[in-house]
């Protein structure tokens, strides 16, 4: 099952797109515990990227506890997942990125909170 599609026009590095899309597929149940992922070589070939790009994405996912790598048996979704904890982790990551963007734009905390409230109300 190929759950990854790259969009090189976004400016988001390919490894981050790969990791993010696999992370979302795990969180939304598209990928289940134990599902095998494509080999690094195969995914790199399918996506037209370097093997190191896919390997970096897989390492990031493994560090987050989303996947496990078992040598020749390849990489698969971790057998036990706490989806709520993973979702909270993703929310924290998104909040940090948002806070960095607010800082870069030199907006106030009040503006940031208003924007979040408006987005949640939409």
DSSP 78-108: -SS--HHHHHHHHHHHHHHHHHHHHHHHT--
* The CATH number of domain 14-80 is 1.10.10.10: yes
Look at residue 1 in the predicted model and tell me its pLDDT. 57
Domain extents in the chain: 14-80, 84-121
The whole-number pLDDT of residue 44 equals 96
| The pLDDT value given to residue 75 | 94
Looking at residue 88, its pLDDT comes to 79
Q: Residue 75 and residue 69: Cα distance in Å, rounded? A: 4
Mean pLDDT of 23-46: 92
Task: Give the residue, 47 or 65, on which the prediction is more confident.
Answer: 47
Model-level pTM?
0.71
pLDDT over 60 (residue 61)? yes
- Percent of the chain surpassing pLDDT 90: 64
* 54's tokens: 């896919």
DSSP 23-66: HHHHHTTSS-TTPBPPPHHHHHHHHT--HHHHHHHHHHHHHTTS
Mean pLDDT, the chain, whole residue set: 90
């Amino acid at each position: 099952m190929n759950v990854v599609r790259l969009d090189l026009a976004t400016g988001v590095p390919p490894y981050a797109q790969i990791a993010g899309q696999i992370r979302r597929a795990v969180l939304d149940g598209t990928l289940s515990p134990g599902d095998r992922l494509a080999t690094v070589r195969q995914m790199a070939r399918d996506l037209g990227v370097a093997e190191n790009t896919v390997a970096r994405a897989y390492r990031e996912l493994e560090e987050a506890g989303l996947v496990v790598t078992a040598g020749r048996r390849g990489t698969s979704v971790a057998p036990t997942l706490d989806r709520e904890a993973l979702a909270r982790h993703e929310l924290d990551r998104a909040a940090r990125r948002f806070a960095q963007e607010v800082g870069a734009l030199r907006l106030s905390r009040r503006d940031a909170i208003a924007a979040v409230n408006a987005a949640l109300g939409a």
